[in-house]
Structure 1
């Protein structure tokens, strides 16, 4: 007993000494703890779990506070526990107070509505209308519908009142485990239903304004630069990505350059930096101003004003607002005479975003942007890296090589840190992105954006053509780079859904590496490596079933994937391919020769060398199946899958996955090797955007 007490005492002393050395880093963990509490609310299924989480952590904080004997350990643990509870309460409160309840069931409606937004999806040949229904208390306050241009003969604008007929649906939840959940995003965005226009949209009365400034600028840029280059230029200036063709968008994604298409830190920083540079040069022309005024601070304030204006102009999306806040914090640091860019600045920015937009924490935009900038700052604060990157008197060729090495190291670190996030949300990660970004980021920051801004200003007096030529040539180079990298065989790695544990383990490891300064930081490396290994080693599912039971993807004998229904749309095929980590073309099950299919049913036996064979029964039409034939087929099957409710007499040997079961599970993945069925969510899920199948 004496020895164990002595060991505990030594451990406590060591921990207290370590926390004292790391006291400057402890505040950096506040947004981590608050964000973990927010993510816990999304991950835990029921209100009882949420209450237990909050009460448990508050009780832990009270116990630590009562039993603590001074030092830093007890206050640190108590503060972290309270932040874990506060994060869960914060997002829970926002969900109750500000979320939009979804439409209870599909409905065919005729309505009058006020147009609150118009978005042209040129690459898809559609126009998206955001509408506020008038005098319809039975409908959500905000709905979104798509229409073909031919259905909009009068081109409605913001503020117009229109009459239309549409079939409204509740926002679609994730179709299979790990897929994009539009229902969750729509709930916090205030969208209660979505649909497709039937017939034509009739304009009842006009609004107060014509096309907005964004639309006018987008049309102007598209007129100056037609084609793919113009679509990218419109995106960089206005944030409107709807003009980009699917081929160019896919090339940007595969090459790791898709972040350039989202108005975020790079664009806001480039604009603010450009305004600061120009303003400082102009102010320095006056000796009186240069000697009497802090021109750096004045230029920084002018850059901040430009950043706010750009954020509002491009639609004030959360990623842009987040980047603008971070830039303003840098300017505040300059004004206070503090280090402008630091991990503390990033932590303050993260806390501000979490307080106002806690629902953004589980999303890829929040995670990628903060992970990337934290990785960059942590790298440059690491003493050996800081010594290598520091300016010094040396030959130009050595300085150039040092800058290239810094760019390469930064790109590699960012790519490594973002890899688990990319796999978790998109099921793919770029392998050549670091090299592509070494060219693309300077090209965008120092050529494309400055000359595009110059071209727009020169167009006021009709002299913008030379600047537009430079922009077009630079954008053509950017697109050529994207397509070249995307066409390489190892441009991206695709992995199937791997679950939350591997992702959480990897991110905890990376955060531990980035936020501590002492040698203890290296304890995060094994966790990050193990998390990445679990992600890369995640087994591909043998069967994927969508939440409505209509679409089934199976891995057949030759390793390819086959679909139950040959009329599955592009969105369904893409969703199933991402979840399965599959890049090939889908075959049709009935054409593979491995299944016995009638007009109504398909029966197939799946075999794997390392697993027992499994016989599947699947419905493939909406026609009524004779009761005795269906019951007999169920008895022969291990798993029965249906897009309808199966009768109680249908008793497969292993599992019955009919529509009610699949809707509650959020789709299913089946692994033959360990005979597991994995659902997309807990059937008890009580999150407010979940619609129970009736």
Structure 2
């Protein structure tokens, strides 16, 4: 040893130091192996996660992979698994790679399966004929979905498989299953409002929706052959939803209360006024309007207990028949019927899978609640709709269920002991505490997804759910089942009125909490990396049982902090160039006019702002610090950090702006413009919406196409 205490050097290096490191690494490896062995039964839960990672990998690509890419990945993973099957750890890694490749392949195959013509340009004054497959009743309008369509100005091979067209509500809505003819302006599915925003084009591709539009004339009924095949069932349930909406409107006079009651009965949220929706969002009760696990579980549970009680009331049946299993079968049937009636949205499909497996476990005398059950449901749901995994419905639904089961696994034994020793008053408190705990866990679990997708946090969600969930569970849903039973006989009015008393209390709860000061907080859009860290940390925290699960809190905290580290752009340009917004000194956006609609609303939401600033001045401007805006009849000049951005209104000023400005943004064609950054009609048509961020190094430009690349659903950009 040296005087300083370091190991002495030898001809072969410092073996003592190497030996120490080897011992430390061996000890750490042994500890890790012990932890891994102790969690042995939980490793299988990561297989659906790997499957979902493969789906995410596919959708994260900027270019469509070769057709054999997924097959090659699965084949290579299978070969690797066979080669290392004798070594447990390596076999586990190979299995995970196989699941990643399988998820990639399923997503790729689903994209090919959903391929259909999509509009790439607007078509005005087209004559459209098609069969009405869905009718959505909205305030002031009706929206219909047409299939088997023909368009006067499109060849059959260019005609989309489905079109969604908005009609005026001045005329009666067409009947589902009928064939109609109308004149309409058709539009391609809308591209993202800015890089990273919601991609409706992608969602429309996987919905089979090739275009949207609005009618410019009256709707004419056309004689057509009858419906055949599965469409007969779909149209029958669509007509049932319409009949339910009409019966509710006849029984309940208040349109707001009628719209909420209708949403709970047939899944149609379209008729709820925006102000009421805002109350539900701000109060944390929006999940009550979306038919999901809560509603399916309650409906199946009520029927399970009712059937079991009725069968138990007959001694001959109770003593000879497996009444519990028979009741579970009725629960499965009710869940399926309810799912079909509300249109089978993705959260409901997940819920009916979960409910079916819970009831199936009861029929097989197995424990009905487990993380493996959730894992299997997640795997099946992702395989059915890979793109749906990227949406908030799937993510928030599974996040809540996974977190609740993880909490149940940790505390079920102790809670059962407390409940067994409690009296009737203690059990009542136990129930209230259970609702409170459920609300807290579900709220915390869905918070990251609310931040990522909606940039919003509801602070009073726990309190509002503590009131609204018991009302929904013990009053609204039982009366809804009674109403379903009475609907075929035309006797549903009393049940609907009784159900509406509960709905009225829920609406009041949403309005009370949603309008309190600081009811909700909006934040800037979360970066994808921060969201990925949150998801990984949450899974780590919920899947494992040992103390190392708390390491998941590190990426969770990093992800929650990530929105505060994002620098929002200084200039945003809509995809068609009709709206441009610049950032004011107070951080808000000021747009170039009163138009923009959903585009400017998306910009505001992703900024985490509740309001937008006044539009640009026609003449004049403002100056504060390093930012200034000056406008005249020809256009505006935006100055920031020593850079000048020209925003011309008329092409006449392009020559002067191109010679003096660092960047030029115009909806016209700017051929030969000498500015360092040029955003003109051709750039917008090819690249989509743009954002510009001025830094000390220069002007950073991001585009929709640059972020998402060229995929089948991007429409050529």
Q: Output the TM-score relative to the length of structure 1.
A: 0.90
Task: Give the equivalent residue in structure 1 for 2:94.
Answer: 78
Query: Is the alpha carbon distance of 1:220 and 1:582 closer, same or farther for their aligned partners in structure 2, counting shifts above 3 Å?
Result: same
Contact 2:578 2:596 in 1 (8 A): no
| Equivalent residue in structure 2 for 1:204, among 222, 229, 251 | 222
Deviations 1:607-640 (A, max 9, x none): xxxxx244222244xx5x12xx313213332332
Q: SS state of the match for residue 475, structure 2?
A: helix
Q: SS state of the match for residue 430, structure 2?
A: helix
Provide the C-alpha distance between the structure 1 equivalents of 2:524 and 2:690, rounded to a whole number of angstroms. Answer: 13
| Equivalent residue in structure 1 for 2:435, among 407, 411, 428 | 407
User: What's the offset of the Cα at 1:59?
Assistant: 5.9
| Equivalent residue in structure 2 for 1:145, among 154, 165, 169 | 165
Deviations 1:13-43 (A, max 9, x none): 3333322211211111111110111011111
Task: Give the equivalent residue in structure 1 for 2:14.
Answer: none
Provide the C-alpha distance between the structure 2 equivalents of 1:65 and 1:589, rounded to a whole number of angstroms. Answer: 66
Task: Give the equivalent residue in structure 1 for 2:556.
Answer: 528
Q: Which moved more, 1:408-417 or 1:223-232?
A: 408-417
Task: Give the equivalent residue in structure 2 for 1:14.
Answer: 31
User: What's the offset of the Cα at 1:232?
Assistant: 0.8
User: What's the offset of the Cα at 1:60?
Assistant: 7.6
Q: Does 1:617 pair with 2:646? A: yes
Q: SS state of the match for residue 199, structure 1?
A: coil
Task: Give the equivalent residue in structure 1 for 2:680.
Answer: 658
| Equivalent residue in structure 2 for 1:27, among 44, 64, 75 | 44
Provide the C-alpha distance between the structure 1 equivalents of 2:383 and 2:707, rounded to a whole number of angstroms. Answer: 30
Task: Give the equivalent residue in structure 2 for 1:609.
Answer: none
Q: SS state of the match for residue 675, structure 2?
A: coil
Query: Is the alpha carbon distance of 1:50 and 1:88 closer, same or farther for their aligned partners in structure 2, counting shifts above 3 Å?
Result: farther
Q: Does 1:326 pair with 2:354? A: yes
Higher-Rg structure is 2
Mapping of 1:37-116 within 5 angstroms? 37-47=54-64, 66=83, 70-71=87-88, 73-108=89-124, 110-116=126-132
Q: SS state of the match for residue 145, structure 1?
A: strand
Task: Give the equivalent residue in structure 1 for 2:263.
Answer: 235
Task: Give the equivalent residue in structure 2 for 1:556.
Answer: 584
Provide the C-alpha distance between the structure 1 equivalents of 2:220 and 2:521, rounded to a whole number of angstroms. Answer: 47
User: What's the offset of the Cα at 1:66?
Assistant: 4.7
User: What's the offset of the Cα at 1:124?
Assistant: 4.0
Q: SS state of the match for residue 589, structure 1?
A: coil
Contact 2:638 2:646 in 1 (8 A): yes
Provide the C-alpha distance between the structure 2 equivalents of 1:468 and 1:93, rounded to a whole number of angstroms. Answer: 45
Gap regions ≥5 residues in structure 2: 1-17, 228-235, 623-628
Q: SS state of the match for residue 692, structure 1?
A: coil
Q: Does 1:631 pair with 2:651? A: no
| Equivalent residue in structure 2 for 1:605, among 627, 631, 639 | 639
Q: Does 1:133 pair with 2:160? A: no
Q: Which moved more, 1:31-40 or 1:678-687?
A: 678-687
Provide the C-alpha distance between the structure 1 equivalents of 2:685 and 2:139, rounded to a whole number of angstroms. Answer: 32
Gap regions ≥5 residues in structure 1: 607-611
Deviations 1:560-601 (A, max 9, x none): 3211122333x2332121122111243111168223323442
Deviations 1:264-317 (A, max 9, x none): 111111110110111111011011221222211111111111111111122222
Residues matched between the structures, number: 677
User: What's the offset of the Cα at 1:430?
Assistant: 1.5
Q: SS state of the match for residue 121, structure 1?
A: strand
Provide the C-alpha distance between the structure 1 equivalents of 2:519 and 2:414, rounded to a whole number of angstroms. Answer: 31
Provide the C-alpha distance between the structure 2 equivalents of 1:173 and 1:385, rounded to a whole number of angstroms. Answer: 51
| Equivalent residue in structure 2 for 1:578, among 605, 612, 635 | 605
Q: Does 1:289 pair with 2:317? A: yes
Deviations 1:67-104 (A, max 9, x none): 68723x21221111111121111101110122334123
Deviations 1:208-242 (A, max 9, x none): 58982221121001111122111111111111112
Q: Which moved more, 1:4-13 or 1:109-118?
A: 4-13
Q: Output the TM-score relative to the length of structure 2.
A: 0.88
Task: Give the equivalent residue in structure 1 for 2:706.
Answer: 682
Deviations 1:482-527 (A, max 9, x none): 1111112222121122220000001100110000011111111111
